[in-house]
Chain A
Amino acid sequence: MMRRHLAGVLAAPLLVGTALAAAPAEGEAEGGLPQLNTETYASQVFWLLIAFLVLYLLMSRIFLPRLGGMIEERRQRVADDFDKAAEFKRQAEEAEAEYKRALSDAKARASKIAQETRDEIDAEIRAMQADTDQKLEAEIAAAEARIEETSAQAASAVREAARETTRAVVMALIDEQPSDDAVDAALKSAEGARS
């Protein structure tokens, strides 16, 4: 309704204007700025106030609320979308944290199993080593005992041989059968001198 009314306001001067088309401006022959002609002031102020009021009402009642409402709606929408995005991000982060926790759990479990297995193997190795060591020691001891025995036998064999030899040498030199005691004493003293 307001629009039709305003169209009327706009159309009226056009019609009147065509009627006045024949009449050109008088040119205000008195000179000076037309802006300083105070006779035109009342009309200008009057129509200016009307025009400004009409524009103000159009703007404040119709156009600005419409535009502002739209902008506000868009802002809400964008804010909503941002909220939603933040929510999705939070969920994604949660899922990631969950995944990381599961991963670290699995890693911990795996390393525990590995540790246990390693310990077991270590223990087994240690047991086997101890076993082997024991066996070897026993063998070494046996071998040492054998060597001892053999060397003792060898020593007594050498002593017997030395006795025989001494006896034979004495026999040959002084043709006399030395007593066992004398030979032993002589051998002992020789052994003592040597060592």
Chain B
Amino acid sequence: MNLGLVERFLPDMLRPFAAGPMEQFEIVPIFPLSFNGAIDLSFTNASLWMAIVVGTSLLFFTLATRRLQLIPGGTQSMGEVAYEFIAGMVRDTMGDEGRQFFPFVFTLFTFIFLCNLLGLLPSIPGSPASFHTFTVTSHIIVTFVLAILSVGLVVVYGLIKHGFGFLKLFAPSGVPLWLMPLIVPIEIISFLSRPVSLAVRLFANMLAGHVVLKVFAGFVGTLLTAGGVLSVISIVPLFGIVLVFLLEFLVAFLQAFVFAILTCIYLQDALHPSH
């Protein structure tokens, strides 16, 4: 009886895995849009999930700030915890001068965290590919643009505020002059590698986590359909999925946190280039 049910629904349930662990990263156009046939700006599943992320934060913060109270209720105190968390981070790294960057860092953290978190939602079995759960931050171009946004802000703000003085960033004070030819290129390379490391760290974490989940899920499917003793063994990768899934919640938060705090640290350079 039970087995009959499994046999009846298994093919449908397994269909998302059938395309392999990389299927989840496919970009599927929903709303084709292109200019001169050259630049393709289609509204895709990635765009959809970006909109879902914005919509989710809109919903959450609307609920959190709808009826503000001196003694906060559940949602409001969650919103305040988020606010205090990022505000504390900005204050600890940049001091009071950092207040101007607070909305940016907060947006960055919220966006990345929700992208990571909502990407962990399970897809509805049998739904079309354009509605499969999609992790926006699992695409290198997205994380790279986010990294460029934060490092670009550092460069632009630094140049506006300090002019050529910003270049002191590449010549640390207290280094003897004869070491400068060595230190300056190293500093420049380390500065240029910042957006790359920011982008790759987030992208690789998301990619790896989701690939591992799908590979384990594939194991479960293969073992379950193999029948006999192998069906029973399929419980092992299932536990693996549960563990990795729990770990992914931590990673989702941690990567958003790392991205935000590194942005704060880099922005501190823009405030005080001579370190």
Contacts and interface: CB of A to CB of B under 8 A. Distances in A.
Indicate, yes or no, whether A interacts with B. yes
Interface of A: 3, 6, 9-10, 12-13, 16-17, 20-25, 27-28, 33-37, 39-52, 54-56, 58-60, 62-64, 66-71, 73-74, 77
A73 B71 CA distance: 11
B68 interface: yes
Contacts, number: 176
A17 B42 CA distance: 13
Interface of B: 19, 22-23, 25-31, 33, 39-44, 46-48, 50-55, 57-58, 61-62, 64-65, 68-70, 72, 76, 79-80, 83-84, 87, 102-104, 106-107, 110-111, 127-131, 136, 138-142, 145-146, 149, 203, 207
Given A17-B130, A33-B25, A48-B50, A59 B30 contact: no
Given A20-B130, A42-B40, A70-B69, 4 more contacts: A25-B19, A36-B140, A59-B61, A68-B83
Contacts of A74: 70
The SS class assigned to the A binding surface is helix
14 contacts: A10-B52, A16-B30, A25-B19, A28-B26, A43-B33, A44-B145, A47-B41, A49-B145, A55-B57, A59-B103, A60-B107, A63-B65, A63-B79, A71-B84
A35 B25 contact: yes
A56 B274 CA distance: 30
A42 B29 CA distance: 13
Given A33-B22, A51-B50, A51-B111, A44 B30 contact: no
Nearest to A64: B103
Contacts of B43: 13, 16, 43, 47
